Amino acid sequence: MNHRDSLKLLFPTEIVGVFDDDITLEGKHLDAAQVSAEGLLDEMFPDRTYSLLKDWERVCGLIPETDAPLQMRRNAVVKKLRELGGLSKSYFIALAASFGWTITIDEFLPFMSGWSRAGDWINDELVRWIWRVNVDGFAIYSFRAGMSVTGELLTWWTGNDALETLIEELKPAHTAVIFNYE
């Protein structure tokens, strides 16, 4: 039953003429409002959103690439919302893997008596706050029904600058990161 018929049932007598036209117009507006409200049910979940995706990205502090596909943008929002944080090597390796990159992390140590041996690098004390991210390849995405939209590429990969931005945003503030692409 549409809203026009529901509104007619509220009146004690039958409505005709101009009043019937008014009820029809109001019923159309209420039907449109219901369709819009049902559409918002999908928009409230970031993995199904389409028209409110820019708002989700704004709330999460994300700036998508200019030609970023829908699937990649939705994944970035979902991952940002699920992110718990961490300071360990394993956290950053798992974070990069969740976005499709394979990385390893090297931490540097200063030369220390009793710990270091002949032939080791003689590093300064400040090297303790530097770590190196070794990146192997690119993050590759594939077109997926229900996750991608018409007109997107069947396969695409993100540039490594997205990985650099991600790690730079989440790294401890007192550290410096060196990126090594193999």
pLDDT digits (tens, 9 = 90+) for 135-182: 887 666 677 777 777 777 777 666 677 788 888 888 888 888 988 887
At 124 the pLDDT is 66
Rounded to an integer, what distance in angstroms lies between the CA atom of residue 147 and that of residue 144?
5
The domain ranges of the chain are 3-43, 86-181
Model confidence at 104, in pLDDT bands (50, 70, 90)?
very high
What average pLDDT does the structure give for the chain? 83
4-18, 112-126, 136-150, range with greatest mean pLDDT: 4-18
Rounded to an integer, what distance in angstroms lies between the CA atom of residue 93 and that of residue 104?
7
What's the average model confidence in pLDDT over 58-68? 86
Sign of CA pseudo-dihedral 44, 48, 50, 53? positive
Distance spanning both ends of the chain, measured CA to CA: 63
At 122 the pLDDT is 67
pLDDT digits (tens, 9 = 90+) for 31-47: 999 998 888 888 888 98
Rounded to 10°, the helix 89-98/160-170 angle is 140
Does residue 16 or residue 74 have the better pLDDT? 74
At 30 the pLDDT is 92
In this predicted structure, the answer to whether residue 116 has a pLDDT above a threshold of 70 is no
Q: Residue 176, SS3?
A: strand
- Residue 88 amino acid letter: S
At 109 the pLDDT is 74
Model confidence at 10, in pLDDT bands (50, 70, 90)?
confident
Of 131, 137, 139, which is closest to residue 179 (Cα–Cα)?
131
Q: Residue 106, SS3?
A: strand
In this predicted structure, the answer to whether residue 123 has a pLDDT above a threshold of 70 is no
**CB distance 74 to 55 below 8 Å:** no
